[in-house]
Amino acid sequence: MRVDTIRISTPTSLCRILKSLASINPSTIVICDIAVDTGYMNELIDLIRNISSRCFIYYIDHHPPPAGFPPPGIDQFKYIYRSGVSASQLVYEAIGRSDDRISRILMAYGAIGDMCDESQLVRDVLSLWDRRLIYLEAGFITEGLISRRDEKFIYELIDRLAQGNPPSSIPELVSSCLKTLSDEYKVYKYVEENVNVRGRIAIVTKIPIRGFGGKAANYALAYTRADVAIAITISGGTAHMSLRSRNPRIDLNDLTRRLSTALGGYGGGHPQSAAARIPASRIEEFLMFMEIALQGL
C-alpha cells in the first residue's frame, strides 16, 4: 500500500486528525496503534460513519476496545484487533508485503518496542539475523524517542527508516538515545529514594524528568513488589498517570478506564500497562477506589 500522508496522533487528538485527513479526500485511511478514548468515542464513531462513505478506513490496534467499539454495520470500514501481539505485527499482516525486507525489520523493531516479541512471526524474523543486533537497533528507536518527541524529528525518522537506514546510522537518534539513558538512570535513582507504598499500590510523584512516567512505574514495581505501581505528574490542573502491574489477575485497562471516567477523566491501555488523565483534585479518590477494587482480586 502506498502511503502519501502520515499524521501523528494521540487518542484525544484522533478526531481532529481524522477531520484534517478527510479534507484532502484520501482513498484509504489507516489508523494504527491508537487506543479508543471513551471520552471521544461517540464523536469518533460518527466521524468513521461519515468518512467511510467516501473512503476505506482500516483501524488496526492491539489495545482492548471499550464496549460499543467497533461500531457495527459500516461499509468500507475494517477493524483489526488482537491482543498479545504488537501493533506493528498487525499492520504488517494486514497491509505489508511478505517479500519486503525493510517491512519485516521495521515490524520486528516495533514488536520489541511494544514488548511483544514472542510471537512466532517475530521469532521467525529474528532467527534470520543476529537478534542482539536487532534488539540494539530497536533500542535506539524506543529510547531515542523518549527524549525527542517533536514532530519534525519523528517525520524525518520515519522517512529514513522507511528507506532502510538502520537506526544506529541516524546521528540525531543516537544522541537522543544517549540523553535518554543518562536521564533514565537519574529517574531510576529518584524512584528508589522516593517511592511510597499504600496498601497494594506503589506511588511515585514529582518525577524530575518529563516523559518517564511509564518507566518510573516499572521501577516502582521492581523496588516494592506491589501489585500496582502508579507514577503521577501534574500539569495545568490535570493529573497524568502511568500504571503498571505484573499481577495477571489485575486488568489495568478495565480498572483505569472505569475509574478515570467516573472521576471526570479518561484512561485505558493494556491489561498490565495503562494510562489515565483525571482532574488533579481527584487523585486521592482515584487511589482510594483503586485500593478498594484491588481488595476483591
Residue 5 in any domain: the answer is no
Work out whether strand 238-245 and strand 228-235 pair parallel, antiparallel, or are unpaired: antiparallel
Let me know if residue 6 belongs to a domain. Answer: no
Same domain? 150 vs 37: yes
Say which DSSP state 115 is in.
T
pLDDT of residue 2: 62
- Residue identified by cell 525518522 is 157
Average pLDDT along the chain? 93
Domain identity same for 33 and 158: yes
Percentage of the chain modeled with pLDDT above 90: 86
Specify whether 142 is located in the same domain as 289.
no
Residue 189 binned pLDDT confidence (cut-offs 50, 70, 90): very high
In a domain, 211, yes or no: yes
In a domain, 80, yes or no: yes
For residue 170, is it within any domain?
A: yes
Q: What CATH number does the domain containing 209 carry?
A: 3.10.310.40
Burial class of residue 108, CB neighbours in 10 A (0-12, 13-18, 19+): buried
Average pLDDT over residues 143-161: 93
Domain span at residue 81? 11-175
**Residue 225: its pLDDT value, please?**
87
The total of structural domains in the chain comes to: 2
Model pLDDT, residue 3: 65
Query: Is residue 112 located within the same domain as residue 210?
Result: no
Contact 294, 280 (CB under 8 A): no
Distance CA 132, CA 121 (A): 17
% of the chain at pLDDT higher than 70 = 99
In the predicted structure, residue 1 carries a pLDDT above the cut 60: no
In this predicted structure, the answer to whether residue 121 has a pLDDT above a threshold of 60 is: yes
The arithmetic mean of pLDDT across residues 165-185, rounded, is 96
